[in-house]
Amino acid sequence: MARFEATVSAPVNIACINASCVSRNPATVLILFQCAHRYWGKRNTALILPTNSSLSVTLSQDHLRSTTTSSTSEGYEQGDRLWLNGKEEEITKGGRTEVCLAALRKWRREVEEKDSTAAKMSEWPLRIASFNNFPTAAGLASSASGLAALVYSVSQLYVLPQTPSQLSLIARQGSGSACRSLFGGFVAWEMGQRDDGADSLAVQVAERDHWPEMHALICVVSDAKKGTSSTSGMQKTVATSTLLQHRINHVVPDRMSEISRAIAAKDFNGFASITMRDSNSFHAVCLDTAPPIFYLNDVSRAIIAVVEEMNRASLASGGGLLAAYTFDAGPNAVIYALEENMPMIVSTINEFFPQTLDFPDPFNMLAAATAATSARP
Ligand code: ADP
Ligand code: DP6
Ligand code: CO
């Protein structure tokens, strides 16, 4: 009985320190991807069309990632099935996973129609297993790496000819942030104008090698599942926040062009100040949501204070910004800094947030990860 299989992995926004645990080996703290300019709000919840464009950095996939294997066989029992971290997840009718799989099958059918010798995989059930080697649903963008890996894995299985940008149209419908994880380097998700979403896709703004000195450090403040998922949080913000309208109309458009310019010019000051201000703007709209959403906690705010103080001292002595913090929908911090400054940043964070022994060591978590057999980026 014919059976086909493909394994890929996609990176997320992580490398690790705990608020009470800095990475034991700062040299390996090269992070994967993290948002420099956030997506928060949908204008169409079914197609996942955002209310603003966004931009993120995919730094490396050596560390935190989702690894997904998909297989198909004419011998499988009817119905697609999905396992996440070893536990079966229901594929809900009309739900996001089903939408992605239906779109991928449609493209596979086109392959089969063009080539009559191609296996009729589009008619066979799928079996998909994915593992995250970092906390799931904890504000570390597992939906981004997870859905990107799912879409990319099935696209490899189906030998689809579509480009990463075309695949990003499908990943976007799995989880908005997932569309950006199909690329390495600096990636924009262009919100697009069309109602059918055909122009709401990810594009690479610059390759990783364009600015290799840009490093990032992830501070794992909590690995617990967050109380409010990104999906429901942003829906409540769209429904209730007046500040969101200001953000969408008067804040984001200029910042998108300014951060793209800063990346092109390798201007760390410009990049850092927009990144921090966007993070604060995003968490301000969360607070402006009714009832308010609190993703940051006291430790997150203490990290902000430490970075602000480091930057103030550097500017006061005639230097530039040293570091930029940014927080996803969760309490965990990502700190961007140029490579030359990272050892000092790590030791400062270590000093203020000494390690405790009861927190899982991120690098042991990494060692436990499933090996990827092929990967993008
Ligand atoms: P996060 O901040 O981690 O992105 P979200 O609330 O956006 O949290 O999304 C978490 C959800 O993403 C999970 O409950 C699960 O449904 C989905 N998800 C996470 N990882 C994977 C994966 N590897 N494969 C498929 N789906 C995943
Ligand atoms: C704060 O992509 O997780 O990480 O599209 O509903 O799945 P859904 O939400 P998701 O939202 C991510 C929000 C964010 C910012 C960002 O990644 O741009
Ligand atoms: Co998410």
Ligand 2 pocket member 35 (CB < 6 A): yes
pLDDT beyond 60 at 12: no
- The CA–CA distances, whole Å, from 69 to 74, 150, 324 equal 17, 8, 35
Query: Could you tell me the two tokens for 284?
Result: 């301000």
CA-to-CA distance for 250 and 241, rounded, in angstroms? 15
Pocket (CB within 6 angstroms of ligand 1): 66, 84, 130, 132, 136-144, 146-147, 149-150, 175, 229-230, 328-330
- Per-residue pLDDT averaged across 107-123, rounded? 97
Question: Which residue of 14, 39, 283 sits with most ligand 2 atoms within 8 Å of its CB, as the best mutation to test the pocket?
Answer: 39
Lowest mean pLDDT among 315-324, 336-345, 349-358: 349-358
Angle at the Cα of 300 (from 298 to 305), degrees rounded to 5? 90
Name the residue at shortest CA distance from atom 9 of ligand 1: 143
Name the residue at shortest CA distance from atom 26 of ligand 1: 146
How far is the centre of ligand 3, averaged over its atoms, from the C-alpha of 142 (Å)?
6
How close are the terminal C-alpha atoms of the chain, in Å?
A: 33
For 310-340, what is each residue's pLDDT tens digit? Answer: 999 999 999 999 999 999 999 988 898 998 9
Ligand 2 pocket member 177 (CB < 6 A): yes
- Can you tell me which atom of ligand 1 is nearest the CA of 175? 7
Question: Which residue of 38, 48, 101, 136 sits with most ligand 1 atoms within 8 Å of its CB, as the best mutation to test the pocket?
Answer: 136
pLDDT beyond 90 at 10: no
pLDDT beyond 80 at 9: no
CA-to-CA distance for 62 and 84, rounded, in angstroms? 20
For 130-176, what is each residue's pLDDT tens digit? Answer: 998 878 898 888 899 899 999 999 999 999 999 999 999 999 999 99
- 307: which strand partners? none
Q: At what angle do helices 298-316 and 342-352 cross, to 10 degrees?
A: 130
